[in-house]
Amino acid sequence: MRAFRFRPLKAALGACAVLSAMISAAWAQEDVESRVSRLLATMTLEEKVGQLNLISHGPPLRWADIQEGRSGALLNFNNAQDVARAQALARQSRLKIPPLFGLDIVHGFRTQFPVPLGEAAAFNPRLSRLAAEWAGREASYVGVNWTFAPMADLSRDSRWGRIVEGFGEDPYLGSVLTAARVEGFRAGGLATATKHFAGYGAPQGGRDYDTTYIPPAEMYDTYLPPFRAALNAGSMSFMAAFNALNGVPSAANPWLLTEVLRDQWGFDGFVTSDWASIQELLGHGIAADGAEASRKALLAGVDMDMMGQLYIKHVPTEVRAGRIPEAVVDEAVRRVLRTKVRLGLFEKPDIDPTRVDSIFPTAESRQAAREVARETMVLLKNRDAVLPIAPTTRSIAVIGPLANAPRDQIGPHGARGHQEDSVSILTGVRDRAQRAGIAVRQADGCDLMCRTTDQLPAALAVARESDLVIAVFGEPQELSGEAASRAHLTLSGKQAEILEALAATGKPVVLVIIGGRPLELGKLADTLPAILMAWYPGTEAGTAVADILFGDANPSGKLPLSWPRTIGQLPLYYNRLPTGRPTLENNRFTLNYIDEAISPLYPFGWGLSYSAFAYSDATIGQANLSAGDQLEASVTLTNGSDRAGQEVAQLYIRDPIATRSRPLRQLKAFEKILLQPGESRRVTLRVPVTDLGFHLDDGTYVIEEGAIQVFVGGNANAPAIGEARIRETTRIPFNQRRAGLPLSTAQ
Ligand code: BGC
Give the mutation target among 103, 274, 307, 485 for probing the ligand 1 site: most ligand atoms within 8 A of CB: 274
- The CATH number that applies at residue 656 is 2.60.40.10
Mutating to test ligand 1, I would choose from 57, 416, 482 the residue with most ligand atoms within 8 A of its C-beta, which is 482
Lowest mean pLDDT among 11-25, 123-137, 215-229, 545-559: 11-25
Using one digit for the tens of pLDDT, what is the confidence trace for 546-587? 999 999 999 999 999 999 999 999 999 999 999 999 999 889
Ligand 1, pocket-test mutation among 75, 148, 151, 155, most atoms within 8 A of CB: 148
pLDDT tens digits, 34-70: 999 999 999 999 999 999 999 999 988 999 999 999 9
196 and 147 fall within a common domain: yes
Question: What is the number of the ligand 1 atom nearest to the C-alpha of 196?
Answer: 9
Ligand 1 neighbour 104 (Cβ under 6 A): yes
Atom of ligand 1 nearest to the CA of 307: 5
Q: Are residues 330 and 375 in the same domain?
A: no
Buried b (16+ CB within 10 A) or exposed e, 121-152: bbbbbebbbbbbbbbbbbbbbbbbbbbbbbbb
Check if 200 has its Cβ closer than 6 Å to any atom of ligand 1: no
Residue 589 lies in a domain: no
**Helix/strand/coil for 112:** coil
Does the CB atom of residue 482 touch ligand 1 within 6 A? yes
Q: Given this model, what pLDDT does residue 7 score?
A: 32
pLDDT at 377: 98
62: in domain? yes
When pLDDT is averaged across residues 134-163 and rounded to a whole number, the result is 98
Helices 125-141 & 2-28 angle (0-180, nearest 10):
100
For atom 8 of ligand 1, the residue with the nearest CA is 274
Distance from residue 248's CA to the centre of ligand 1 (Å): 20
Its pTM surpasses 0.75: yes
Residue whose CA is at the smallest distance from ligand 1 atom 12: 104
3-state secondary structure 688-724: EHHHCCEECCCCCEEECCEEEEEEEECCCCCCEEEEE
User: 200 forms bridges with which residues in the sheet?
Assistant: none
Is residue 725 pLDDT above 90, yes or no?
A: yes
| Atom 6 of ligand 1, nearest CA residue | 275
Asked if pLDDT for residue 212 goes beyond 50, the answer is: yes
Cis before 60 (ω within 30): yes
330 pLDDT higher than 90 = yes
d(CA 633, CA 160): 36
Contact, 136 vs 147, CB < 8 A? yes
Residue 196 lies inside a defined structural domain of this protein: yes
Q: Which residue is closest in CA terms to ligand 1's atom 11?
A: 275
Which atom of ligand 1 approaches the CA of 195 most closely?
Answer: 9
96 C-alpha to ligand 1 centroid (Å): 28
Q: State mean pLDDT over 192-204.
A: 98
Task: Please report which confidence band the pLDDT of residue 736 belongs to, taking 50, 70 and 90 as the band edges.
Answer: low
Shared-domain flag, residues 155 and 80:
yes
Using alpha carbons, select from 348, 333, 329 the residue that is nearest to residue 36. Answer: 333
Residue 575 within any structural domain of the chain: no
How far, in Å, CA of 118 to CA of 533, rounded?
Answer: 9
Nearest protein CA to atom 4 of ligand 1, as residue: 275
Pair 313, 394 in one domain: no
Q: Is 322 left (phi over 0), alpha (psi -120 to 50) or beta?
A: left
pLDDT for 733: 87
For residue 11, pLDDT beyond 50? no
Domain end marker among 544, 569, 594: 569
Distance of CA 53 to the CA centre of its chain: 27
Cis peptide before 314 (omega within 30 of 0): no
pLDDT band, very low/low/confident/very high, at 747 (cuts 50, 70, 90):
very low
Measured in Å, residue 275 CA sits from the centre of ligand 1 at: 6
- For residues 183 and 327, membership in a common domain is answered with yes
Query: What domain count does the chain have?
Result: 3
On whether the CB atoms of residues 337 and 329 are closer than 8 A, the answer is no
712: left (phi over 0), alpha (psi -120 to 50) or beta: beta
Atom of ligand 1 nearest to the CA of 149: 10
Pairing of strands 613-620, 630-639: antiparallel
| 171: exposed, middle or buried (Cβ count in 10 Å: 0-12, 13-18, 19+) | buried
Mean pLDDT on 256-273: 97
Domain co-membership, 413 together with 282:
no
Give the percent of the chain with pLDDT over 70. 94
Rounded to the nearest angstrom, the distance between the alpha carbon of 376 and the centre of ligand 1 is 25
Q: What is the pLDDT of residue 666?
A: 98
SS3 305: strand
Distance from the alpha carbon of residue 276 to the mean position of ligand 1, in angstroms: 10
* Residue 652 to residue 364: CA distance in whole angstroms: 37
Radius of gyration of the chain from its Cα atoms, rounded to whole angstroms:
26
Q: Which of 55, 115, 151, 275 to mutate to test the pocket of ligand 1 (most atoms within 8 A of CB)?
A: 275
Residue having the nearest C-alpha atom to atom 10 of ligand 1: 148
Q: Can you give the CATH number for the domain in which 448 is found? A: 3.40.50.1700
Which range (6-10, 623-627, 694-698) has the least confidence?
6-10
Residues 194 and 310 in one domain: yes
- 261 in Cβ contact with 239 (< 8 Å): no
352-406 confidence digits (pLDDT tens)? 999 999 999 999 999 999 999 999 999 999 999 999 999 999 999 999 999 999 9
Average pLDDT, the chain: 94
> Which ligand 1 atom is the nearest neighbour of the CA of 148?
10
Domain shared by 393 and 466, yes or no: yes
Answer whether 344's CB lies under 8 Å from 17's CB: no
Is 72 part of any domain?
A: yes
> Is residue 137 within 6 Å of ligand 1 at its C-beta?
no
Check whether residue 375 and residue 338 sit in a common domain: no
Taking the C-alpha atoms of residue 222 and residue 173, their distance in angstroms, rounded to an integer, is 11
C-alpha 373/C-alpha 506 separation (Å) is 31
Report if residue 93 sits inside a domain. Answer: yes
Q: Is the peptide bond before 719 cis (omega within 30 degrees of 0)?
A: no
Same domain membership, residue 515 and residue 629: no
> Is 746 part of a structural domain of the chain?
no
From 569, 587, 621, the end of a domain falls on 569
CB of 274 closer than 6 angstroms to any ligand 1 atom: yes
Strand partners, 53: 305
Task: Check pLDDT > 80 for residue 305.
Answer: yes
Q: Given this model, what pLDDT does residue 392 score?
A: 96
The residues that are catalytic are 274
CA of 279 to the centre of ligand 1 (A): 14
Q: Is the CB of residue 275 below 6 angstroms from any atom belonging to ligand 1?
A: yes
Query: Among residues 330, 158, 150, which one has the least CA distance to residue 233?
Result: 150
Distance, CA of 726 to CA of 629 (rounded, Å): 9
User: Measured in angstroms, how far is the CA atom of residue 207 from the centroid of ligand 1?
Assistant: 16
What is the three-class DSSP state of 392? coil
In angstroms, what is the span from residue 95 Cα to ligand 1's centroid?
29
Rounded distance from Cα 274 to ligand 1 centre (Å): 6
- Weakest-pLDDT range from 21-30, 92-101, 280-289: 21-30
Domain range spanning residue 52? 2-342
Residue that finishes a domain, picked among 538, 569, 600: 569
Beta-bridge partner residues of 73: 54, 100
In this structure, the strands spanning 730-732 and 701-703 are: antiparallel
User: Do residue 228 and residue 291 come from a single domain?
Assistant: yes
Question: 224 alpha carbon to ligand 1 midpoint, in Å?
Answer: 20
Pocket test for ligand 1, best of 78, 104, 162 (most atoms within 8 A of CB): 104
Q: Which atom of ligand 1 is nearest to the CA of 165?
A: 9
What is the rounded (10 degree) CA torsion for 66, 68, 69, 70?
-80
Does residue 584 fall inside a structural domain? no
Mean pLDDT for 513-529 is 98
Q: pLDDT tens-digit profile of 481-507?
A: 999 999 999 999 999 999 999 999 999
Look at residue 745 in the predicted model and tell me its pLDDT: 36
Residue located nearest, by CA, to atom 2 of ligand 1 = 274
What is the structure's pLDDT at 29? 52
Q: What is the dihedral of CA 156, 158, 163, 166, to 10 degrees?
A: 40
Residue nearest to atom 7 of ligand 1 (CA): 275
Report the distance separating Cα 343 and Cα 191, nearest Å.
Answer: 7
560 and 632 both lie in a single domain: no
Report d(CA 110, CA 96) in Å as an integer: 30
Q: How far is CA 226 from CA 152, 169, 175, 454, in A?
A: 6, 11, 4, 47
What percent of the chain shows pLDDT beyond 90?
A: 93
295 close to ligand 1 (CB < 6 Angstrom): no
Domain CATH for 278: 3.20.20.300
**27 neighbors 324 (Cβ within 8 angstroms):** no
Helix axes 363-376, 125-141, angle to 10 degrees: 150
Question: What is the predicted pLDDT for the residue at 613?
Answer: 98
DSSP state of 490: B
The closest-lying atom of ligand 1 relative to the alpha carbon of residue 151 is: 9
195 Cβ closer than 6 Å to some ligand 1 atom: yes
What's residue 81's pLDDT?
98
- 170 C-alpha vs ligand 1 centroid, how far in Å? 23
